[in-house]
């Protein structure tokens, strides 16, 4: 008498909320790659000269590209939050005999994120 094998579900990611959030988390990478391509094109236009660059900036200001960047920003922030919350589990940091608490690593990540973001923004914005 043979055991019964339940069929594999195609919509497995809908079975549980955590699965859905997992798929959303993985798909944030599409927006991150999308932004990398936008940035790559920006550099290309920059290399082509003033006119090409300014036309590209105008294209970026169109409602469609604005909408893309707003969604991409939300996706990127979701990526950052989930990444920082998972990172302490891959790294077990030991200082002397004591293991660094995952919560400490998490907050250190947030603090570093704030500092790095501020430096990056300052580099661009200082005139």
Partner 1 sequence: MKTGRSSEPIWWLLFAVGGTVAAFLVPVHIAVGGIAGPAGWIPQAFAYDRMVGLISHPLSRLYLFALISLSLFHWAHRFRYTLAEGLRLKASWLPIPIACYGSAIVGTILAAAVLMRL
Partner 2 sequence: MTSSVSSATITLEVLRYRPGRDQAPAFQSFQVPYREDWVVLDALNYIKDQIDGSLSYRWSCRMGVCGSCGMMVNGTPRLSCAAFLKEYYPATVRVEPLEHFPIERDLVISLDDFMQKLPAVRPWIVRQDDRPLDAGEYRQTPAELDWYKQFSMCINCLLCYSACPVYELEPRFIGPAALALVARYNLDSRDQGREQRQEIAAGPDGVWDCTLVGECSTVCPKDVDPAGAIQRLKLSSALEWVKNVVLPWGRR
Residues 6+ apart with CB under 8 A from 46: 52, 53
CA distance 25 to 37: 20
- Closest distance of CB 1 from partner 1, Å: 29
Among 99, 107, 111, 118, interactor with partner 2 by CB under 8 A: 99
CA distance 84 to 110: 7
Pair 115, 94: CB distance under 8 Å: no
Residue 6 interacts with partner 2 (CB under 8 A)?
yes
CA distance 78 to 57: 26
- Specify the stretch interacting with partner 2 by CB under 8 A; choose among 51-59, 69-77, 97-105, 117-125: 97-105
Residues that bind partner 1 (CB under 8 A): 8, 10, 12-13, 23, 26-27, 29-30, 32-33, 35-40, 42-44, 46-47, 50, 53-54, 57-58, 60-61, 65-66, 69-70, 72-73, 76-77, 79-80, 83-84, 87, 90, 112-113, 116-117, 120-121, 123-125, 127
Residue with tokens 């932004």: 35
Pair 8, 55: CB distance under 8 Å: no
List the single partner that 124 binds among partner 1, partner 2, none, CB under 5 to 8 Å by kind: partner 1
Computed on alpha carbons and rounded to an integer, the radius of gyration of the chain in Å comes to: 21
Q: Where on the chain is the footprint of partner 2 (CB under 8 A)?
A: 1-6, 8-9, 12-13, 15-16, 18-19, 22, 26, 86, 89-92, 94, 97-99
């Amino acid at each position: 008498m043979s055991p019964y094998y339940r069929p594999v579900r195609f919509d497995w990611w809908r079975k549980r909320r955590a699965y859905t959030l997992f798929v959303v988390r993985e798909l944030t990478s599409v927006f991150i790659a999308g932004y990398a391509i936008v940035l790559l094109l920006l550099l290309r236009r920059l290399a082509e000269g003033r006119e090409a660059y300014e036309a590209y900036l105008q294209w970026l200001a169109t409602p469609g590209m604005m909408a893309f960047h707003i969604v991409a920003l939300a996706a990127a922030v979701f990526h950052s939050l989930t990444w920082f919350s998972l990172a302490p589990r891959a790294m077990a940091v030991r200082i002397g005999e004591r293991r660094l608490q995952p919560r400490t690593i998490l907050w250190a990540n947030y603090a570093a994120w704030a500092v790095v973001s501020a430096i990056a923004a300052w580099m661009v914005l200082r005139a």
